[in-house]
Chains A and B, each alone.
Chain A
C-alpha cells in the first residue's frame, strides 16, 4: 500500500486550538504544505502574532518567534536581516495586521523586505471574543458594534491587498479564500507562489486569506462558509493583485 495522503512534515502533532469550523486549520496546512513542497522546513523561521494564531508556534514544525500585537513584520525584519538566506514568514490576523500593526506591515512591504506574510482576514477579533476589526463589514454585528458597524461612525473596512500592492516593495500580493475546496486549492497555489517569490528575492510577498469565525459570527460552520462567499468576497474581491516574481507576465 502506498501513502496517498499524510500530515505535512512542517506541522507538529499538537492538537489545534482553533474553534470547530474555523478555517485557520486549513490555512495552517496550506502553509506547511508550501514549506514542504519547497523543501525548506529546516531553513524556515516563522513569526506568530497576537490573536487566534498566537499559538502558531505550537503547530508549525519550524523555529518560531512569538511577536507583540501587530509587530510580527518588524520581528520578521530583524530575523531576515540576520539570516538573509532563510525563509521567514509571519502569520497574522486582521486585527493584528490591519489595525495595531498597520505601520509595521506597510513599512515592511515598502522596504521590500524579503519575507512572506500570511494574512488571515475573518473580519473580526476572534481571540478577544468578537470585537469589531478594521475589516469588519458595514452592518456586521460584533461585540463592539452591537447595532452593526456604522459607516458614519467608523468608516468602511480596509482592503489591505489593494493598498499593499501599490507599494513598490511588494513583489507579490494576492487575496484568496478558504471557504470551499476549489478556493482552498487556489489559496494553496498563491501561498506557494508567495514563498517562491521570497526565495527568488523579488521583494515582499503577502497572501490574504478570507477565513471564517463561526463562533464570533454567531453562525454554524456551514453558514459561516456561505457567508464568506455571499458577503465577504463581494467586498474583498479575490485575485492576484501583484506579481513581480520571475516568470510572471
Chain B
C-alpha cells in the first residue's frame, strides 16, 4: 500500500468512504470546504449520495433521517455551522442515532476568523446542545491519525448508537501529510457496519414497528430514558478513553495538549529536555471521555502540569478536575486563530518549573 500525500480534509473524506459511509450532507464553510467538495466528486463514483443542504440545520436533520433509516452517514462543518447543528445533535443523541460529525475548528466567538482554533472544546465535550448528553469526541493530531480516527468514529457510533464528533483544528484540515489509507476498495456495502434492526426501513409486521424518537412526555419514562443514556455514557467513559503518553515517567512537568498543539508542545519538550528540564506530555486523543485517570496517576509523581491550547482556557478545566488540586495546573493559550509558538511554550515551561 503506497503512501499518499493528502490534505487533512480530503483524507478525512476518503477515510469516511472507506469506512462504508455512503451518505454525506453538508454546507459550505471555511476551513472545511474540501470535505464536501471531495464528497461531491467521490460519492457519485461509488453509488453514494452527496447532497448540499440549504443550511447546516437542514444538513444535520438529513443526517438524522439517513441514520434513522439505517445508513452510515457523515456531515462536516466549522464553529458557526456546528452551533447551528447543535439542535440536531441533541435529537440524534436523544434518539440514539449513530453518525459522524466533523468540526474543523476556526476562531470564534461569532463569525470569528477562518484560522485554526480549539475554542469549541467546551461545546464538543459537554454535549453542545440542550439536555443531558455527551458524545465521544476524537481529536487527531496528524493527517494520518485523522484517517484512523475517522474509521474509529464510525465504529464507535454504530457500537454505541451515538453521534461521534471528530474535532480537528483548521491546521489538521488544511495541512498535507503522507497517509496510509485503509485498504478497502470501493465497495457499495458498508464493510463493517452492523445490522440495524431498529432502523425505520418500512414495517412488514415481522418485527416491532421502528419509531425513531426522542420524545417521552411522561416524566418517569423520560427519566428512565435518561438513566439508560447515562449508563451508556458511563460505559463509553469506562471503555473508550484514548491518549498517548510521552516522556512522563521522569517528568517534573507534564504538558497536556491535543490536536496540532501537541506537535508544537512536542518541539518545546525536546528543546526543554536538551537544556535539562524534565518535561513530558499526555496527549488526549479522546477529549470526551477525557483521560482523567492517567493524568491523576501522573499527578503523584509530576510536580506540575501545563495545558497548552488554542483557546482562552477550556481543556484546563478538565485537567484541573483530574489533578484534583494535588499539583498546580498552569495554562498557556492563544486565541483568535493565533497559533502558540515553540519559543513561547518553552518560556512557559521554564516559568512553571
Do A and B originate from a single complex?
yes
Contact at B211–A74, with CB atoms within 8 Å? no
Bound Cα distance from A8 to B322, whole angstroms: 59
**Which residues of A sit under 8 angstroms from B201, Cβ to Cβ?**
45, 63, 83, 86
**Which residues of A sit under 8 angstroms from B57, Cβ to Cβ?**
71, 74, 103-104
Interface residues of B (CB under 8 A from A): 23, 25, 49, 51, 53-55, 57-59, 61-71, 73, 87-88, 91, 95, 200-205, 209-215
Bound Cα distance from A131 to B271, whole angstroms: 65
Q: Which residue of A lies closest to B203 (CB)?
A: A63
Cβ contact of A45, chosen from B55, B202, B215, cutoff 8 A:
B202
Q: Which residue of A lies closest to B55 (CB)?
A: A103
Tell which of B71, B204, B211 has the most Cβ of chain A within 10 Å. B211
Contact at A83–B69, with CB atoms within 8 Å? yes
Contact at B51–A81, with CB atoms within 8 Å? yes
Cβ contact of B209, chosen from A64, A77, A107, cutoff 8 A:
A64
Contact at A65–B65, with CB atoms within 8 Å? yes
Contact at A75–B203, with CB atoms within 8 Å? no
- Given A68-B87, A68-B88, A81-B51, does the pair A63, B66 have CB atoms closer than 8 Å? no
Contact at B66–A82, with CB atoms within 8 Å? yes
Some 6 contacts from A to B, beta carbons below 8 A apart, are A65-B69, A65-B200, A65-B212, A78-B65, A103-B54, A103-B57
Name the interface residues of A61-79: CB closer than 8 Å to any CB of B.
61-68, 71, 74-79
Q: Which residue of A lies closest to B65 (CB)?
A: A78
Interface residues of A (CB under 8 A from B): 41-45, 47, 54-55, 57, 61-68, 71, 74-83, 86, 103-104, 106-107
**Which residues of B sit under 8 angstroms from A79, Cβ to Cβ?**
65-66, 68-69, 200
**Which residues of A sit under 8 angstroms from B200, Cβ to Cβ?**
45, 63-65, 79
**Closest beta carbon of chain B to A10's beta carbon, Å:** 10
Contact at B213–A103, with CB atoms within 8 Å? no
**Which residues of B sit under 8 angstroms from A63, Cβ to Cβ?**
200-203, 209-211
Bound Cα distance from A71 to B84, whole angstroms: 13
**Which residues of A sit under 8 angstroms from B202, Cβ to Cβ?**
42-45, 62-63, 83, 86
Bound Cα distance from A211 to B325, whole angstroms: 63
Q: Which residue of B lies closest to A107 (CB)?
A: B54
**Closest beta carbon of chain A to B322's beta carbon, Å:** 35
Bound Cα distance from A76 to B62, whole angstroms: 7
**Which residues of B sit under 8 angstroms from A107, Cβ to Cβ?**
53-54, 58
Bound Cα distance from A67 to B213, whole angstroms: 8
Contact at B54–A78, with CB atoms within 8 Å? no
- Given A57-B211, A82-B69, A103-B54, does the pair A67, B64 have CB atoms closer than 8 Å? yes
Q: Which residue of B lies closest to A74 (CB)?
A: B61
Contact at B23–A75, with CB atoms within 8 Å? no
Given contacts A77-B62, A81-B51, A81-B65, 10 further A-B contacts (CB under 8 A): A64-B210, A65-B64, A65-B200, A66-B95, A71-B61, A71-B64, A74-B58, A78-B69, A82-B65, A82-B66
**Which residues of A sit under 8 angstroms from B61, Cβ to Cβ?**
67-68, 71, 74-75, 78, 104
**Which residues of B sit under 8 angstroms from A104, Cβ to Cβ?**
54, 57-58, 61
Contact at B215–A54, with CB atoms within 8 Å? yes
